[in-house]
Amino acid sequence: MKLLVSRENQPEDTLIRLSGAQFGGGRFTVIAGPCAVESSAQLRATAEVVRDAGASLLRGGAFKPRTSPYSFRGLGRAGLGLLVEARAAVGLPTVSEAVDTDDLAAVAAAVDVIQIGARNMQNFSLLEAAGRLRQPVLLKRGAGATLDELLQAAEYLLQGGNRQVLLCERGIRTFAPSMRYTLDLAGVVRLKQLTHLPVLVDPSHATGDARLVPALARAALAAGADGLLVEVHAQPEAALSDGPQALLPEAFRGLMASLRQIGTALGRAV
């Protein structure tokens, strides 16, 4: 059976357009922002930094899936309100995670792209509910999921009638303990062969270390990914989640400049 997500079913790239931004069709599109929405001032300041540096979408988690129940789990609905304000202030479309079906409608109403995180890649009731929406979904690969499992999870969304799906490689768990996860760039190349859906790379969660993020972000562009999901924070040492992997504003600006140079060499619009 030909899967709806497969290149056999649809040879041409799926294009996902959001007020000025486009995923697919050779573009390289950057989503950036803090791991979590922490406050109005933090989100606004970071949103301005990433917009001025050339990001096309703003990310920020309001509902945070955390390994420990004692960690900061996000501002919840108040965080969604801050994302609505930030979008109006800086003019970038927004991305935020829905961690369960109860909050899906609220997330969908507040942001442009609904993220389904790695821990929820095979949450089939969430996938079915998101499949009923007509709004882009960013589906992250589970840390222990094969490419086939990722594609079958995306198939739930398409089968439900939602064809606006972005995939994201965010690192898988291997035997190598020196980084948070292992970024599977070969998997990105293979995914681009197997599916017409845009494939993004998240070098922040993959490595857990801001010093590794720019090089892997550049490698993602060179490998043919359709874009990035990157964490940026003005004060990583004070971040309520994932500080060590957040790029400082200056590092993000430098990364964007180098991506544009590589894009020129490759004939790809960054």
The alpha carbons of the chain give a radius of gyration, in whole angstroms, of 17
CA dihedral 65, 80, 101, 92 (to 10 degrees): -90
**Which residue from 24, 74, 79, 117 is in contact with ligand PEP, where contact means CB under 6 A?**
117
Stretch that binds Mn ion, among 38-46, 112-120, 126-134, 234-242 (CB under 5 A): 234-242
**Cα torsion angle, 240, 245, 248, 253, sign:** negative
Name the residue nearer to Mn ion (CB basis): 140 or 192.
Answer: 140
Binding mask 196-225 for ligand PEP (x = CB under 6 A): ------x--x--------------------
Measure the N-to-C terminal CA separation of the chain; round to a whole number of Å. 36
Dihedrals φ, ψ of 59, to 5°? -105, 160
Identify which of residues 61 and 214 has a Cβ nearer to ligand PEP in the complex.
61
Nearer CB in complex with ligand PEP: 4/239: 239
Which stretch in 30-38, 47-55, 157-165, 176-184 sits in contact with Mn ion by CB under 5 A? 30-38
Would you say 221 or 230 has its CB closer to ligand PEP? 230
Of 28-36, 127-135, 173-181, 211-219, which segment contacts Mn ion by CB under 5 A?
28-36
* Residue 136 interacting entry, from ligand PEP, Mn ion, none, C-beta within 5 to 8 Å by type: none
Q: Is 47 an interacting residue with respect to ligand PEP (CB under 6 A)?
A: no
**Which of 156, 98, 151 lies closest to 127 in space, CA to CA?**
156
CA distances from 40 to 45, 46, 142, 236 (A): 9, 10, 30, 16
